[in-house]
Amino acid sequence: MTESARENEAADDREAPGTEGNRGRPDASGERATATFEVPEMDCPSCAGKVESALDGAAGVDDVDPRVASGTLTVAYDAAETDVAAIGDRIERAGYGVADVDVRSATLSVPGMDCASCAGKVESALDRAAGIRRFETSPTTGRVRVDYGPEASREDLVAAIESAGYEVTNEADDAGGNEHGDDADAESDAGSVWTSTRGIKTWISGGFLTLGLLFEFFLAGANVRVASVLGAELLLADVLFLVAVASGGQVILRDGYYSARNRNLDIDFLMSAAIVGALLASLAFGEALYFEAATLAFLFNVAELLESYAMDRARDSLSELMDLSPDEATVKRGGEEVTLPVEDVERGDVVVVRPGEKIPMDGAVVEGESAVNQAPITGESVPVDKTVGDEVFAGTINEGGYLEVEVTSTAGEDTLSRIVEMVAEAESKKTEREQFVERFSSYYTPVVVAFAILTTLGTPFVLGVTWPTAVVYGLTLLVLACPCAFVISTPVSVVSGITSAAKNGVLIKGGTHLEAMGAVDAVAFDKTGTLTTGELTVTDVVPLNGNSEADVLRCARGLEARSEHPVGEAIVAAAGEAGVDGDDTAEIESFEALTGKGVRADLGGTPHVAGKPGLFEELGFDLSHVHATTDGGVVTRTAKQLCERSDCLDLLETTVPELQSQGKTVILVGKPESGSDAESGTEGGELEGVIAVADEVRPEAERAVARLRDLGVSKTVMLTGDNERTARAIAERVGVDEYRAELLPEEKVAAIESLVAEHERDGAPGGVAMVGDGINDAPALATATVGVAMGAAGTDTALETADVALMADDLSKLPYLYELAADANGVIRQNIWASLGIKALLAVGVPFGYVPIWLAVLAGDAGMTLGVTGNAMRLSRVSPDE
């Protein structure tokens, strides 16, 4: 299956990614050929073995060469016996998608496809259509994503779906219409369900059913004989019931016809069989079952309308996200203000945003200042002040002032569009529970249908009931045979949870991650930028060996000017604020970043190094015997106190520990002796100074950690590359259970692996969530059960790499995410067991006469569908703690 397209595009036709493979190349004989297929999911030897087995013995296939590293498969074949399409089909039947440069993708809106039964008919129709490579149906959003080859067209896709009895609309936001086939309404208002064509026919059917009941039970004297059919009398009530069947059963029988044509044993087919069966039994046994047929027609239509209404509620949650962005923008062009559709706005254009208006595109403020409500993107409850140079996002609201914004992304590429797209993609990905439910339902329906036949044929002999009563029992079981409520119990909960999270500034990339987050036992935090603000500042400068503070900052600035590390950026900023001359930075040569340790470079031809104390120990610097500078330059309070105690400093015993105990990161600056190298073992050098850098702990960090513990997280861990003392100080302040310090990136990965092994042992539920910045911590985030990126708004890398993205730098959203995920898991379990349990209970009661047919329709179908949807909607009430 492929990913969903943007939710606000009706039909997205574009080239799918591929390679120059998939082209058969005949040899000189014209018969022998080779083809290279791109099989991205073939990523292990086991996968390669399955693909080879699928092609082993296939007609015309001579040789198969799978290459796991590149995800490609080269096949030598006889072109007279097989072709590329046949080989590709075999690969896909083995469960592996094949990328094809000739494949196009389309996302179609099918509003009437609002249940698993509907999706089954559409899938059956697409299965038979030529040229379709793969497809994905999403009843919760009413959309179908199809990949198709050059032998098919978009018109063919539409024709195939319409052959299943469902209308394809032109607008993606038509997801509000819900009726089948020609009865689909184009309106998206949920209220239109009750006044739609199907709704009107349902109410007419109900009216005639009511009249029939009136004559059957209350006006028996007026219930006269009207006609005779095959020797069976038709009373007035019977005629009224038949009219009710005709008006209400039309849609059901038409959908049942499409189900039969597509060989789909779904609720439409089963209900059609039940209605027709009741009518035929009335003629066969001479005992009127017209009331039962009319009841089925009316109540099933009511059930479908209720299901449509409930599904609208789920779909509306995503539509609300789509509606956040305005359709038009006021743009300054040629000295004038013109109003344009957002699709026509280009990068570099300046848009005008007046008070109360929504910002139409991502961009940077070039004029004005205002408070901007960023809740639609980040979930922040308090507006954020914006001034010239600040970044703003599409869909956010200008609260008060006048702003001019230079556009930095086109329509469809802005942060809001990416969020909507990713939410849509997340909703289309099936969780393990969904896959289990689908597998189970494929057995459930045939078993219950068999039970219905057995009940019909057996109860007259076993329980002594009449044949008409046995037929009613069988018809009632047919009503219970469709597992619609059971099948939608998980996806509707996932939709509700993911869209609710998105509205609160938490982007969850799939139902699997939602489920996994609710089951984690341990949460690991990066320190910088996660538990702390990540905005480092220089707090102390201790000049040594006759250097001044300016000398130390100048040297450090030269070394760190090319570094992208936050510590280096803080030092460069501090040097700039102190007005330190930066001429030396132009003479940097031989720059080298020592991962996890520091940096080295030649400044003006002289080798220099800056980094952790451990690096200087490796280089052989004598850290126990250095002299503090007491005159010249600006001497910090720390330096004065140290110098008063002793003319000679022991950095390892006094200076470094004291600074680190305050939660500060210590950087040493010095000149190694010529040839000194930590790798080679040569030693020596002169220290020039000590720089301490501090990072403020987030004010919400301590409460977030405590709240996670209250919600059931058994362990919280801080992982950092910082030194032991600094790590201990931060860990004690925020209250994590343990910390691991001085970790290199690969050691963070190892730490996560050990935590995962500890909390997922023996396949038990659990797991580890890793919270980091989404860029520097990418390997650790990928290793964890769930990777959570902080502050992802406007950050492409974080949005793409994380399983979950907290759009704002707000750690308080983490307990909300955990609570929402845990509640979602609970709701999913409740929905699955309730829908299955009630169906089973009703089915067992049918042969004993405890379950009338109307109860089976209302409780077993409509009631359960409405119940699981309503239960799932409760997730929208989970909100972050303020």
Pairing status of strand 143-148 against strand 685-694: unpaired
Q: Which two tokens stand for residue 83?
A: 């072709």
Q: Which two tokens stand for residue 602?
A: 């030649």
CA angle 565, 570, 574 (to 5 degrees): 150
700, 812 Cβ separation under 8 angstroms: yes
Backbone angles phi, psi at 679, to 5 degrees: -75, -40
Burial class from Cβ neighbours inside 10 Å (0-12, 13-18, 19+) for residue 257 reads middle
Neighbours of 827 (CB within 10 A): 23
Q: Which two tokens stand for residue 265?
A: 């044993």
* DSSP 8-state symbol, 367: E
For 667, what's the count of Cα atoms within 13 Å in the CB-facing half-sphere? 33
Burial code of 778-800, b = ≥16 C-beta within 10 A, e = fewer?
bbbbebbbbbbbbbbbbbeebbe
Calculated CA dihedral for residues 403, 404, 405, 410, nearest 10 degrees: 120
> Alpha-carbon distance 106 to 111, whole Å?
16
> Alpha-carbon distance 724 to 737, whole Å?
15
SS3 labels along 600-666: EEEECCEEEEEECHHHHHHCCCCCCCEEECCCCCCCCHHHHHHHHHCCEECHHHHHHHHHHHCCEEE
- CA–CA distances in Å: residue 676 to residues 155, 620, 672: 72, 8, 6
Q: Is 792 helix (H, G, I), strand (E, B) or coil?
A: coil
Backbone angles phi, psi at 638, to 5 degrees: -60, -45
Q: Spell out the long-range contacts of 754-758 with Cβ–Cβ below 8 A and sequence spacing 24 or more.
A: 755/522, 755/524, 755/715, 755/717, 755/784, 756/783, 756/784, 756/785, 758/522
Residue type present at position 15? E
Alpha helices in 662-743 (DSSP H): 701-711, 724-734
Calculated CA dihedral for residues 826, 429, 374, 388, nearest 10 degrees: 150
Please name the residue that has the structure tokens 């044949």: 467
Q: Which two tokens stand for residue 50?
A: 């399955």
User: What residues contact residue 285 under an 8 Å CB cut-off, 6+ apart?
Assistant: 467, 468, 471
Mark whether 881 is an active-site residue. Answer: no
> Alpha-carbon distance 749 to 321, whole Å?
35
Q: Indicate the angle between helix axes 511-518 and 432-462, nearest 10 degrees.
A: 90
> Alpha-carbon distance 499 to 241, whole Å?
44
Q: Which two tokens stand for residue 152?
A: 């098919």
Q: What DSSP element (H or E) covers 830?
A: helix 813-845
From the candidates 268, 526, 773, 810, give the one annotated as an active-site residue: 526
SS3 labels along 466-515: CHHHHHHHHHHHHHHCCCHHHHHHHHHHHHHHHHHHHHCCEEECCHHHHH
Q: Which two tokens stand for residue 669?
A: 């600056």
Instruction: State the catalytic residues.
Output: 526
